[in-house]
Amino acid sequence: MNDKFTHANTTSYAVIYIYPFNVLSSKDTAKVGGKNASLGEMIRNLASLGVQVPDGFAVSVDAYYEFLEYNKLASRIQDVLNTLDRQSLSNLSIVGVQCRELILSGNLPEAVTKAVKESYRQLLEEGLNHSVAVRSSATAEDSPTASFAGQHESFLNVTGAENVLIAIKKCYASLFNDRAIKYRIDNSFTDMQVGQSVGVQRMVRSDIGSAGVIFTIEPENGNSNIIYITGAWGLGESVVQGAVNTDEYYLFKNAIENNAESIVYRSLGSKEQMLVYGEGENNTVWRAANASLRDQFILSDEEVHLLGKWSLQIENHYHTPMDIEWAKDGATNKLYIVQARPETVHTNRKAIAITEYKMVSKQSPLLVGKAVGRSIVTGTVSIVKSLTDSPKVKQGDIIVADITNPDWNALLKKAICIVTNKGGRTSHASIVARELGIPAVVGTLNATEKLVDGQQITVSCAGGDEGYVYSGHMEWQEKKIELQNIPHTRTSPMFILADPMKALHYAAYPNQGVGLLRMEFMISNTIQVHPMALVKYDDLPSDAEKKQIDALTRHYTNKKHFFIDKLAESIGLVAAAFYPKDVIVRMSDFKTNEYMKLLGGKYFEPEEENPMLGFRGASRYYHERYREGFALECAAIKKVREEMLLSNVKIMIPFCRTTGEARQVLQTLESFGLKRKLNGLEVYVMAEIPSNILLAAEFAQLFDGFSIGSNDLTQLTLGIDRDSAIISGLFDENNAAVKMLIQNLIEVAHHKGVKVGLCGQAPSDYPAFAQFLVSCRIDSVSFNPDAIIRGIQNINEAEVESRQFQEAVSDI
């Protein structure tokens, strides 16, 4: 391909109409727009690292201005734009249509046409064996402050020089889409200030492969430890449009850098349909995905790791988080990066306050989907099928749709929430919701069927990964927290967590890590199967429960690997979210009656009169009834620490009654590859039985730290069943006997050089209890998420009082 084609215009310099991608760099935005400049930058600088970008050429901004001059369009378009009511935008659609008609009525200058045809011919000579993508690339596009993503048109599966020329004019016209005009107004760009280049790029056969989007920063919460990959079968427009429920992968950057197992969490999307090549005027068409495709992931682990590596290289090159589009060629099985732009939502957001939302009303939801945002709203449903429904949408409505698209951007500004049938975290609805700062629930499957116009609903995105839609006006509580006012304390504030999908959100709060990660929630919610039922799978009777187990584990020949992988990914997501802060994972502490509720549990659990004081905690781990199940727990921890490189994970042993039992557990851990101190592994013990404290010196020689379980300790110190309503009034963590044990433990542990923390509600509920812990010089306190801010404030007040007291004493 020639480096350039020139045409002498009325000025004294030559105009360049064509730039091959491989001569461009990020400095050429003024010549070829942000998108094309970025493609050239990657081809020139990242190809040597293995990053594959499809080649092509850019039709320059000069060609666009030559087109306007040749057809005398600039002043005519400006005259039309001057009629726009920029306050109400009531005539936006009329103005947009008139501008686009002017563009499409023009003719490309002969020199531009000749240059494009010659460049396309050279692509054919270089081995172009199917179609090209023709993409808009505006001069203000893909900047760190205004991405313009989705504002202008792209045309896929374009074949033949004449069709390429038609697509170029359509790209020019897309500068005056309603959404693009509105976006320029919102971002203070004058209309004729933005020039349009067009990229002509080899198509990747993702129509018979897969494609999607990558964020090098977690898109919902902005966690910089994570790379997020999502995608579906077929052309990537299906993902960008939000027309499918996608597969998702969360990758840990540190593992990518060290060529380790970087996938810390994944989820399988339903992927009901796919966008593929069409024929004739229909360049692309929708086709239903068959059941086999829907039930398998779109990428192998090796392919996910490669995309993660490329994405990190791209982020490092640009020195900023990136929004990337990828595609897999189904004919060659090769992966490509087809676009990359700076991420703008989280990069430009300087959060100084958060608002916590808590649902008060109790009701089953009508719909469940993926949550975008963290708030709760109530409003009136307005079902939108197309822009013809715009007049009925009122300011403050909740827009409900199958999917949304960029043409709706002005309309969506009226909404306080968006609910869609289809889509994932990178869908158009999700991106717009983040930009507008409103919640959205996407991928509900049937919102447009279950909801009706005018219906009052409440939408909650305050529950982590899932968003809920309720009928009517529900009650909730809001609490605004100014993060810059949260003090730093000597005593480390940590979290008590159970749900891995909430970790990315809470990692942004003031904290020093996770002092208690409950394994039970992950087993009961994600795995659902008793570990021994997977160990002894072949021995299970062929009943309804085994059929349920078969359905859950259908992708695994070795059923034990199902447990290991799912548990490792749940723990891994939390550990990656908080890295490098400590995440202390408590090994399973179900009681026998709780284990029995798991699928297959009834075959392995004994009946007990008092499960609270029975076969639980440490006593299970080395016992023949459960030892092989405990081996699966250990394998998951080992995978997280050694394969995912999440060395911030520590483990904690619950309900360890004697030092002899402690030694048995440590030996069992070592036999399963988790030797204390090896590779920095620390093992903590729950201090929740009086024997743990009475023999604290001996326990301190066996473990790296204590975590006081104040609920069980109070129960066993005062001889109270904490679940008994009759004597619940006697349950009191402030009891002198309980506090005496706590104080004694901290003194002995510190004398032996090990740390002590406490997991419980009391320090946040009772300032006096926090003051007591601070006076004992406890190392950390772990709180439930809804209590951590108040807990930090209580600790700070106690530390201030302690310092003032010490200063007063020293002055005497």
Active-site positions read 428, 759
Q: Which residues contact 14 (CB under 8 A, 6 or more apart)?
A: 6, 7, 8
SS3 487: coil
C-alpha 635: how far from chain center:
26
Contact 708, 757 (CB under 8 A): yes
The three-point CA angle 276-277-283 to 5° equals 125
d(CA 462, CA 371) in angstroms, rounded, equals 8
Q: Which residues contact 762 (CB under 8 A, 6 or more apart)?
A: 710, 733, 734, 769, 770
Measured over the CA atoms of residue 215, residue 219, residue 225 and residue 231, the dihedral's sign is: negative
Contact 527, 562 (CB under 8 A): yes
Instruction: Write a three-state SS string for 305-330.
Output: HHHHHHHHHHHHHHCCCEEEEEEECC
CA distances from 498 to 32, 208, 691, 787 (A): 50, 40, 27, 15
Helix/strand/coil percent split, the chain, to 5:
45, 20, 35
Q: What tokens does 202 get? A: 């080899």
Phi, psi for residue 599 in degrees, rounded to 5 = -60, 130
Amino acid at 635: A
C-alpha 568: how far from chain center:
17
d(CA 554, CA 521) in angstroms, rounded, equals 22
Instruction: Write a three-state SS string for 60-128.
Output: CHHHHHHHHHHCCCHHHHHHHHCCCCCCCCCCHHHHHHHHHHHHHHCCCCHHHHHHHHHHHHHHHHCCC
SS3 784: coil
d(CA 519, CA 598) in angstroms, rounded, equals 14
Other C-beta atoms within 10 Å of 714: how many?
A: 23
**Letter string b/e over residues 365-399, b meaning 16 or more CB atoms within 10 A of that residue's CB:** bbbbbbbbbbbbbbbebbbbeeeebeeebeeebbb
Phi, psi for residue 709 in degrees, rounded to 5 = -90, 95
d(CA 116, CA 692) in angstroms, rounded, equals 79
The three-point CA angle 29-31-34 to 5° equals 25
d(CA 59, CA 36) in angstroms, rounded, equals 9
